[in-house]
Chains A and B, each alone.
Chain A
Amino acid sequence: EVQLVESGGGLVQPGGSLRLSCAGSGFTFSDHWMHWVRQAPGKGLVWVSRISRDGSDTNYAGSVRGRFTISRDNAKNTLYLQMNSLTAEDTAVYYCARLRDGGSLDHWGQGVLVTVSS
Chain B
Amino acid sequence: QSVLTQPPSVSAAPGQKVTISCSGSSSNIENNYVSWYQQLPGSAPKLLIFQNNKRPSGIPDRFSGSKSGTSATLSITGLQTGDEADYYCGTWDSSLSEGVFGGGTKLTVL
Contacts and interface: CB of A to CB of B under 8 A. Distances in A.
B56 interface: yes
Interface residues of B, number: 28
Interface string B39-51: 1000011110011
B95 to A, nearest CB: 12
A104 B35 contact: yes
B86 to A, nearest CB: 8
Contacts of A46: 101
Interface stretch (A16-24, A67-75, A107-115): A107-115
Contact of A59 (B45, B50, B98, B102): B98
A7 to B, nearest CB: 15
A76 to B, nearest CB: 22
A47 B35 CA distance: 13
Nearest to B49: A104
Nearest to A35: B99
Contacts of B18: none
Size bin of chain A's contact surface: 20 to 34
A103 interface: yes
Contact of B32 (A37, A61, A97, A103): A103
Interface of B: 2, 32-33, 35, 37, 39, 44-47, 50-51, 54, 56, 86, 88, 90-92, 96-104
Given A45-B37, A102-B51, 20 more contacts: A37-B99, A37-B101, A44-B88, A44-B102, A46-B101, A47-B90, A47-B98, A47-B99, A47-B101, A59-B97, A60-B98, A62-B96, A95-B45, A102-B35, A103-B32, A103-B51, A103-B92, A105-B35, A106-B47, A111-B44
